[in-house]
Amino acid sequence: MSHFELLVLFCLGLYLAECLLWVREGGWLISTWRKSYSLFQGPGLRMRNPWPMGGCYRYSPPSTVSRSQPVPNLSLEQARIRLEGFKPWATNLHWYARGLLGVAALGFILFLSRRGFWLGWGLLAFLFVFFHLSLVQTFWRAYGKLYPGPRKDRIKKSLLCLVSPWQSARAMDLLEERLWEAFHPWVPGRLYLDPATFAQWVRRWLLELRYPAALGGMPPSPLLLGTTPGEEEKGLAQWLKESGLDPEKLTLPLPASEPANLSYCRRCEVQYQLAEGTCKDCGRPLVPFH
Ligand SMILES: [Zn+2]
Protein backbone atom coordinates (compact mmCIF):
# COMPACT_ATOMS: atom_id res chain seq x y z
CA MET A 1 0.00 0.00 0.00
CA SER A 2 1.44 3.38 -0.98
CA HIS A 3 1.78 6.34 1.38
CA PHE A 4 -1.02 8.11 -0.41
CA GLU A 5 -3.44 5.19 -0.05
CA LEU A 6 -2.58 5.03 3.63
CA LEU A 7 -3.32 8.72 3.96
CA VAL A 8 -6.69 8.31 2.21
CA LEU A 9 -7.57 5.38 4.48
CA PHE A 10 -6.53 7.38 7.53
CA CYS A 11 -8.66 10.39 6.51
CA LEU A 12 -11.63 8.16 5.74
CA GLY A 13 -11.28 6.34 9.08
CA LEU A 14 -11.07 9.64 10.91
CA TYR A 15 -14.18 10.91 9.18
CA LEU A 16 -16.19 7.73 9.83
CA ALA A 17 -15.11 7.82 13.47
CA GLU A 18 -16.77 11.26 13.65
CA CYS A 19 -20.03 9.62 12.57
CA LEU A 20 -20.07 7.12 15.43
CA LEU A 21 -22.29 7.86 18.40
CA TRP A 22 -22.36 6.11 21.73
CA VAL A 23 -25.86 5.74 23.19
CA ARG A 24 -25.79 5.28 26.94
CA GLU A 25 -27.65 2.71 29.03
CA GLY A 26 -31.23 3.95 29.25
CA GLY A 27 -30.58 6.40 26.39
CA TRP A 28 -32.23 6.70 23.00
CA LEU A 29 -31.14 7.78 19.55
CA ILE A 30 -33.31 9.07 16.73
CA SER A 31 -31.35 9.37 13.51
CA THR A 32 -32.02 9.63 9.84
CA TRP A 33 -30.70 8.03 6.69
CA ARG A 34 -32.38 9.76 3.78
CA LYS A 35 -35.87 10.82 4.84
CA SER A 36 -36.89 8.09 7.27
CA TYR A 37 -36.07 8.22 10.96
CA SER A 38 -35.06 5.22 12.98
CA LEU A 39 -35.13 4.71 16.71
CA PHE A 40 -32.45 2.93 18.72
CA GLN A 41 -32.35 2.07 22.41
CA GLY A 42 -28.99 2.11 24.21
CA PRO A 43 -26.56 0.92 25.29
CA GLY A 44 -24.72 0.58 22.02
CA LEU A 45 -22.66 2.25 19.31
CA ARG A 46 -24.52 3.60 16.29
CA MET A 47 -23.39 5.08 13.01
CA ARG A 48 -24.90 8.37 11.91
CA ASN A 49 -25.51 9.09 8.28
CA PRO A 50 -22.00 9.78 6.86
CA TRP A 51 -23.57 12.23 4.43
CA PRO A 52 -24.37 15.13 6.80
CA MET A 53 -28.06 15.41 7.37
CA GLY A 54 -30.15 17.11 10.05
CA GLY A 55 -32.55 15.23 12.28
CA CYS A 56 -30.35 13.42 14.76
CA TYR A 57 -31.36 13.44 18.40
CA ARG A 58 -29.62 11.62 21.21
CA TYR A 59 -31.18 11.40 24.63
CA SER A 60 -29.00 10.50 27.60
CA PRO A 61 -30.76 10.04 30.93
CA PRO A 62 -29.46 12.33 33.69
CA SER A 63 -26.82 10.54 35.78
CA THR A 64 -28.09 12.14 38.98
CA VAL A 65 -31.63 13.24 39.63
CA SER A 66 -31.87 16.48 41.55
CA ARG A 67 -34.81 18.64 42.49
CA SER A 68 -33.10 21.72 41.10
CA GLN A 69 -33.37 20.34 37.56
CA PRO A 70 -35.71 22.48 35.45
CA VAL A 71 -38.91 20.78 34.32
CA PRO A 72 -38.51 19.93 30.62
CA ASN A 73 -40.56 21.85 28.12
CA LEU A 74 -43.45 19.81 26.72
CA SER A 75 -44.82 22.33 24.25
CA LEU A 76 -45.03 20.98 20.71
CA GLU A 77 -45.76 24.46 19.41
CA GLN A 78 -42.57 25.91 20.88
CA ALA A 79 -40.67 22.91 19.54
CA ARG A 80 -41.97 23.58 16.04
CA ILE A 81 -40.87 27.22 16.28
CA ARG A 82 -37.43 26.04 17.44
CA LEU A 83 -37.17 23.63 14.53
CA GLU A 84 -38.17 26.37 12.08
CA GLY A 85 -35.41 28.56 13.54
CA PHE A 86 -32.86 25.77 13.09
CA LYS A 87 -33.77 24.79 9.51
CA PRO A 88 -32.33 27.76 7.57
CA TRP A 89 -28.96 27.35 9.32
CA ALA A 90 -29.07 23.60 8.76
CA THR A 91 -29.78 24.11 5.05
CA ASN A 92 -26.76 26.41 4.65
CA LEU A 93 -24.49 24.10 6.62
CA HIS A 94 -25.79 21.16 4.61
CA TRP A 95 -24.84 22.75 1.26
CA TYR A 96 -21.40 23.89 2.42
CA ALA A 97 -20.71 20.44 3.90
CA ARG A 98 -21.75 18.77 0.65
CA GLY A 99 -19.43 21.14 -1.21
CA LEU A 100 -16.53 20.39 1.12
CA LEU A 101 -16.92 16.61 0.90
CA GLY A 102 -17.44 16.80 -2.88
CA VAL A 103 -14.22 18.81 -3.35
CA ALA A 104 -12.26 16.43 -1.10
CA ALA A 105 -13.56 13.40 -3.02
CA LEU A 106 -12.77 15.01 -6.37
CA GLY A 107 -9.24 15.84 -5.17
CA PHE A 108 -8.59 12.24 -4.19
CA ILE A 109 -9.97 10.89 -7.47
CA LEU A 110 -7.90 13.31 -9.58
CA PHE A 111 -4.78 12.45 -7.61
CA LEU A 112 -5.37 8.71 -7.97
CA SER A 113 -5.96 8.94 -11.72
CA ARG A 114 -2.99 11.35 -12.12
CA ARG A 115 -5.13 13.75 -14.07
CA GLY A 116 -4.58 16.86 -12.02
CA PHE A 117 -3.04 20.05 -13.38
CA TRP A 118 -1.81 23.02 -11.40
CA LEU A 119 -4.70 25.36 -12.13
CA GLY A 120 -7.17 22.60 -11.24
CA TRP A 121 -5.38 21.89 -7.97
CA GLY A 122 -5.33 25.58 -7.13
CA LEU A 123 -9.05 25.87 -7.81
CA LEU A 124 -9.84 22.80 -5.70
CA ALA A 125 -7.71 24.10 -2.82
CA PHE A 126 -9.49 27.46 -3.02
CA LEU A 127 -12.93 25.81 -2.99
CA PHE A 128 -11.91 23.56 -0.09
CA VAL A 129 -10.81 26.52 2.02
CA PHE A 130 -13.89 28.52 0.96
CA PHE A 131 -16.36 25.79 2.02
CA HIS A 132 -14.45 25.09 5.20
CA LEU A 133 -14.34 28.73 6.32
CA SER A 134 -17.99 29.26 5.30
CA LEU A 135 -18.94 26.33 7.53
CA VAL A 136 -17.01 27.73 10.47
CA GLN A 137 -18.46 31.22 10.01
CA THR A 138 -22.05 29.94 9.60
CA PHE A 139 -21.63 27.69 12.63
CA TRP A 140 -20.35 30.61 14.72
CA ARG A 141 -23.32 32.82 13.78
CA ALA A 142 -25.91 30.06 14.15
CA TYR A 143 -24.60 29.01 17.55
CA GLY A 144 -24.85 32.59 18.83
CA LYS A 145 -28.45 32.90 17.60
CA LEU A 146 -29.68 29.50 18.78
CA TYR A 147 -27.86 29.32 22.10
CA PRO A 148 -27.42 32.77 23.57
CA GLY A 149 -25.59 32.78 26.88
CA PRO A 150 -21.99 32.15 27.92
CA ARG A 151 -19.63 32.22 24.96
CA LYS A 152 -17.23 29.55 26.17
CA ASP A 153 -18.99 26.66 24.46
CA ARG A 154 -19.46 28.64 21.27
CA ILE A 155 -15.76 29.53 21.05
CA LYS A 156 -14.65 25.99 21.88
CA LYS A 157 -16.86 24.32 19.28
CA SER A 158 -16.13 26.88 16.56
CA LEU A 159 -12.38 26.41 17.14
CA LEU A 160 -12.87 22.68 16.88
CA CYS A 161 -14.51 23.22 13.49
CA LEU A 162 -11.74 25.59 12.43
CA VAL A 163 -8.87 23.20 13.11
CA SER A 164 -10.53 20.14 11.55
CA PRO A 165 -12.25 20.14 8.15
CA TRP A 166 -13.81 16.79 9.05
CA GLN A 167 -15.39 18.38 12.07
CA SER A 168 -16.58 21.38 10.06
CA ALA A 169 -18.18 18.99 7.53
CA ARG A 170 -20.31 17.75 10.41
CA ALA A 171 -20.97 21.21 11.87
CA MET A 172 -24.71 20.65 11.50
CA ASP A 173 -24.60 17.70 13.91
CA LEU A 174 -22.55 19.76 16.32
CA LEU A 175 -25.11 22.56 16.13
CA GLU A 176 -28.02 20.18 16.59
CA GLU A 177 -26.63 18.55 19.74
CA ARG A 178 -28.10 21.19 22.05
CA LEU A 179 -31.24 21.97 20.06
CA TRP A 180 -33.61 20.02 22.31
CA GLU A 181 -31.85 20.32 25.66
CA ALA A 182 -34.73 22.26 27.27
CA PHE A 183 -37.38 19.88 25.91
CA HIS A 184 -38.74 16.56 27.05
CA PRO A 185 -37.35 13.80 24.76
CA TRP A 186 -40.85 12.91 23.60
CA VAL A 187 -41.23 16.33 21.99
CA PRO A 188 -38.49 15.95 19.32
CA GLY A 189 -39.61 12.31 19.09
CA ARG A 190 -43.08 13.42 18.15
CA LEU A 191 -41.70 15.83 15.54
CA TYR A 192 -39.19 13.44 13.94
CA LEU A 193 -40.67 9.95 14.17
CA ASP A 194 -43.60 8.57 12.21
CA PRO A 195 -46.71 7.93 14.36
CA ALA A 196 -46.22 4.14 14.55
CA THR A 197 -42.57 4.35 15.66
CA PHE A 198 -43.42 7.13 18.11
CA ALA A 199 -46.22 5.01 19.63
CA GLN A 200 -43.77 2.11 19.99
CA TRP A 201 -41.27 4.35 21.74
CA VAL A 202 -43.83 5.78 24.14
CA ARG A 203 -45.05 2.28 24.92
CA ARG A 204 -41.52 1.06 25.75
CA TRP A 205 -40.89 4.15 27.90
CA LEU A 206 -44.15 3.81 29.85
CA LEU A 207 -43.76 0.07 30.41
CA GLU A 208 -40.21 0.53 31.73
CA LEU A 209 -41.49 3.24 34.05
CA ARG A 210 -44.47 1.25 35.28
CA TYR A 211 -42.69 -2.09 35.69
CA PRO A 212 -39.12 -1.58 36.94
CA ALA A 213 -36.70 -4.47 36.38
CA ALA A 214 -36.12 -6.85 39.26
CA LEU A 215 -32.49 -7.37 38.21
CA GLY A 216 -29.85 -4.75 39.06
CA GLY A 217 -28.20 -2.54 36.44
CA MET A 218 -31.35 -1.81 34.43
CA PRO A 219 -32.47 1.73 35.17
CA PRO A 220 -36.19 2.52 34.88
CA SER A 221 -37.33 5.37 32.64
CA PRO A 222 -36.08 8.64 34.17
CA LEU A 223 -38.23 10.85 36.35
CA LEU A 224 -38.28 14.19 34.55
CA LEU A 225 -41.71 15.59 35.46
CA GLY A 226 -42.30 14.29 38.98
CA THR A 227 -40.45 12.75 41.89
CA THR A 228 -42.22 9.37 41.89
CA PRO A 229 -43.01 6.98 39.01
CA GLY A 230 -46.73 7.57 39.67
CA GLU A 231 -46.40 11.34 39.30
CA GLU A 232 -44.24 10.93 36.23
CA GLU A 233 -46.76 8.64 34.55
CA LYS A 234 -49.60 11.01 35.36
CA GLY A 235 -47.75 13.93 33.77
CA LEU A 236 -46.87 11.93 30.66
CA ALA A 237 -50.42 10.55 30.31
CA GLN A 238 -51.77 14.10 30.51
CA TRP A 239 -49.44 15.24 27.74
CA LEU A 240 -50.38 12.25 25.56
CA LYS A 241 -54.08 13.02 25.95
CA GLU A 242 -53.52 16.69 25.11
CA SER A 243 -51.69 15.70 21.94
CA GLY A 244 -54.47 13.36 20.86
CA LEU A 245 -53.07 9.97 21.94
CA ASP A 246 -54.65 7.53 24.37
CA PRO A 247 -52.11 6.34 26.99
CA GLU A 248 -54.30 3.35 27.94
CA LYS A 249 -54.52 2.13 24.37
CA LEU A 250 -50.77 2.64 23.89
CA THR A 251 -49.91 0.29 26.76
CA LEU A 252 -52.50 -2.48 26.23
CA PRO A 253 -50.86 -5.95 26.59
CA LEU A 254 -50.18 -7.71 23.30
CA PRO A 255 -51.96 -11.01 22.55
CA ALA A 256 -49.95 -14.26 22.44
CA SER A 257 -48.05 -14.42 19.15
CA GLU A 258 -48.30 -18.26 19.13
CA PRO A 259 -50.81 -20.58 20.84
CA ALA A 260 -47.89 -22.32 22.62
CA ASN A 261 -46.96 -19.12 24.48
CA LEU A 262 -48.49 -19.26 27.94
CA SER A 263 -47.11 -16.19 29.71
CA TYR A 264 -45.31 -12.90 29.10
CA CYS A 265 -43.21 -10.26 30.83
CA ARG A 266 -45.03 -6.99 31.37
CA ARG A 267 -41.85 -4.94 31.08
CA CYS A 268 -39.97 -6.55 28.18
CA GLU A 269 -43.03 -8.06 26.45
CA VAL A 270 -41.10 -11.25 25.78
CA GLN A 271 -43.44 -14.26 25.56
CA TYR A 272 -42.68 -17.61 27.22
CA GLN A 273 -43.91 -21.17 26.78
CA LEU A 274 -44.03 -21.53 30.57
CA ALA A 275 -47.10 -21.12 32.73
CA GLU A 276 -45.10 -19.36 35.43
CA GLY A 277 -41.56 -18.24 36.24
CA THR A 278 -39.46 -15.11 35.92
CA CYS A 279 -38.32 -13.14 32.88
CA LYS A 280 -34.78 -13.98 31.75
CA ASP A 281 -34.07 -10.39 30.76
CA CYS A 282 -35.34 -8.37 33.71
CA GLY A 283 -36.24 -10.87 36.45
CA ARG A 284 -39.87 -9.82 36.78
CA PRO A 285 -42.51 -12.52 37.47
CA LEU A 286 -44.26 -13.75 34.32
CA VAL A 287 -47.94 -13.03 33.80
CA PRO A 288 -50.15 -15.77 32.27
CA PHE A 289 -52.26 -15.03 29.18
CA HIS A 290 -55.96 -15.27 29.84
ZN1 LIG B 1 -38.73 -8.85 31.39
Q: Determine, yes or no, domain membership for 167.
A: yes
pLDDT value of position 17: 87
Q: What is the rounded average pLDDT for all residues in the chain?
A: 89
Q: Determine, yes or no, domain membership for 23.
A: yes
Q: Rounded distance, CA 263 to CA 18, Å?
A: 44
> Taking CA 46 as the corner, what is the angle to CA 270 and CA 80, rounded to the nearest 5 degrees?
90
C-alpha dihedral, 144 to 147 to 151 to 155, nearest 10° = -70
pTM of the model: 0.86
Average pLDDT (16-28) is 89
pLDDT value of position 53: 76
Cα–ligand 1 centroid distance for 284 (angstroms): 6
Burial of 225-240, coded b for 16+ CB within 10 Å and e otherwise, reads beeebeebbebbbebb
Q: Which of 126, 152, 176 is the last residue of a domain?
A: 176
pLDDT value of position 65: 62
Q: Per-residue pLDDT for 34 more than 90?
A: no
The residue type of 117 is F
Looking at the structure, tell me whether residues 10 and 128 fall in a common domain.
yes
Q: Do 76 and 188 form a contact (C-beta atoms < 8 A)?
A: no
Question: Which residues lie at CB < 5 A from ion ligand 1?
Answer: 265, 267-268, 279, 281-282, 284
Cα–ligand 1 centroid distance for 205 (angstroms): 14
Q: Per-residue pLDDT for 108 more than 70?
A: yes
Domain of residue 268 covers 254-290
Q: Determine, yes or no, domain membership for 283.
A: yes
What's the total number of domains in the chain? Answer: 2
Cα–ligand 1 centroid distance for 256 (angstroms): 15
C-alpha dihedral, 225 to 226 to 230 to 232, nearest 10° = 10
Q: Is the dihedral of CA 120, 125, 131, 133 positive or negative?
A: negative
pLDDT value of position 262: 94
Looking at the structure, tell me whether residues 156 and 277 fall in a common domain.
no
pLDDT in tens, 141-158: 999 999 998 899 999 999
Q: Rounded distance, CA 288 to CA 175, Å?
A: 49
Cα–ligand 1 centroid distance for 257 (angstroms): 16
pLDDT value of position 84: 95
